[in-house]
Amino acid sequence: MAEPAPRSTPRFGLIGTFDVENYGDCLFAHVYAHLLRGHFPEAEIKLYSPFARAAEILDFAPVHALPATLGERPIAADALIQTGGETLAVGHSSGTYLLPDKTLSHYLRMWLAPTVWNGRGAARFFAHGVGVPPTLAQGLGPTARVLHSAERVRARDAVSAQHLGCEVAVDPVFLLADVLAADQWQERARRALPAGARPGDYIVCHISPPYAEGQDAVWLEQVIALLRRTGGTALLLPVCHFLGDHAYLQLAAKAIARRAPDLAGRVIAPEANLRPVLDTAAIIAASAGVVTSSLHAAVTAAAFGLPLAVYPGRGGAHGKHSQTLLAAGVTDGIALTIGDLDNTFAASQASDRLAQTSIARQRAKEGFDALCAAISGDARTTGPVAEADLAELIRLDRVAMTPAASARRALRRIAHRFPHLRAARLRHSFARRLAV
């Protein structure tokens, strides 16, 4: 029997946490699809995530389900690509999911089954720009060994690369500006901007509540200092929606007005919460700079050559924010304390940002071009995954919780079924923290 003719239309499956309202994860879908079509114009591209639900901010649908067990039929694709993020070690909001013991967990679904299929000669699997949080880097032995059964693995930064034993590929979101033409970005911003915000006249100010906890007053004072120094306007823009950004920033605007009544008219807190992820990117692109705790809000600023100051939280100098920027050659804009945000932003304003953006773009392009070259080349044979490593990973993922931890997880899961109740609880907590 004659061999079937090779497919002229390559089929790609992009794997990520596309079912969570998180800016960076949802950006990956748009950036990867755009860049892949630059190399493979006729490509068929589908998205896959654990729960087959498109996040409300994702204007790229539908999203298909990742298989829940290793025994399920492999996805019909020529290549599956893990699109970055920390899903090699954790899954977003994993504590809110109570999955049956017989299924793979939220994070294992993201890469374990595709890796196994790759070793069995099914769909080829590539992990590009993935990361490992320093706090979870211990005990990665079986994780790294199983992952290296994938055809090609690249980490987003030097620290992750060291833990995983692989090379670095710079986050492709540094190429975000290429996804739309300049006039399309401007039009998106014009339509999405809230009343009172004019392109180029506002600074995006954002922090997610977990990053500010215990230092809420310090962050408020930094925004006030920024406004007094620059004479500009602060746009308090929600970015990481699943962390409660919108409710927190709405209350933060009131807290700033109480502390500095003369600045009340220069603080804008949009009423709209969820908006398409590319609209958020356009609002950032049209700003005069970004002060944030979001890695990909900072990457967006760097991609468009804007001043930035990002607070990396407990990750510090070795965490994902700092290391992802440094891997791209962006050396300015990292504030290791909340109290240094304004000074860091001022230093970024005075730096040669366009030169750093050029370096970041070139490094990101080189990494993605190499990924596409590997996809176009002959498949690399990988050895079978050791059953002992599989068993160890699944065992580690089923570690018994204490009764208290189990109860907390159950309560969080129930709360997520009633978003209005969860929102009310968050607002009460944030109001107490911000003293409003």
> Helix axis angle, 245-259 relative to 419-434, nearest 10°?
30
pLDDT tens-place values along the chain, 436 residues long: 334 434 578 999 999 989 888 999 999 999 999 999 999 999 999 999 888 889 999 988 799 998 989 889 899 999 999 998 877 765 544 445 556 777 888 778 888 999 998 888 788 999 999 998 766 666 678 888 898 889 999 999 999 999 888 999 999 999 999 999 999 999 999 999 999 999 999 999 999 999 999 999 999 999 999 999 999 999 999 999 988 999 999 999 999 999 999 999 999 999 988 899 999 999 999 999 999 999 999 999 999 999 999 999 988 988 999 999 999 999 999 999 999 999 999 999 999 999 999 999 999 999 999 999 999 999 887 878 899 998 888 887 776 667 887 777 777 767 767 777 777 888 889 999 998 7
Six token digits for residue 214: 């215990």
State residue 104's pLDDT score: 85
Among 6, 122, 106, residue whose Cα is nearest residue 52: 106
**Element of type H or E holding 297:** helix 295-303
Over the range 377-388, which residues count as b (16 or more CB within 10 Å of their CB) and which as e? Answer: eeeeebeebeee
CB under 8 A, 24+ apart: contacts of 353-358 = 353/302, 353/305, 353/306, 353/307, 354/305, 356/302, 356/329, 356/330, 356/331, 356/332, 357/174, 357/302, 357/303, 357/304, 357/305, 357/330
State residue 98's pLDDT score: 59
State residue 97's pLDDT score: 57
State residue 3's pLDDT score: 43
What 3-state class would DSSP assign to 361? Answer: helix
Residues in the chain: 436
> Helix axis angle, 341-350 relative to 216-230, nearest 10°?
40
Domain annotation for the chain: domains and CATH numbers: 11-174+369-407 (3.40.50), 177-360 (3.40.50.2000)
State residue 202's pLDDT score: 98
Phi, psi of 49 (to 5 degrees): -145, 170
State residue 110's pLDDT score: 87
Radius of gyration of the chain (CA): 22
CB atoms within 10 A of CB 406: 12
Cis check for the bond before 62: say yes or no (omega within 30 of 0): yes
CB 241 within 8 A of CB 92: no
**Element of type H or E holding 44:** strand 44-49
State residue 4's pLDDT score: 41
State residue 99's pLDDT score: 67
**Element of type H or E holding 47:** strand 44-49
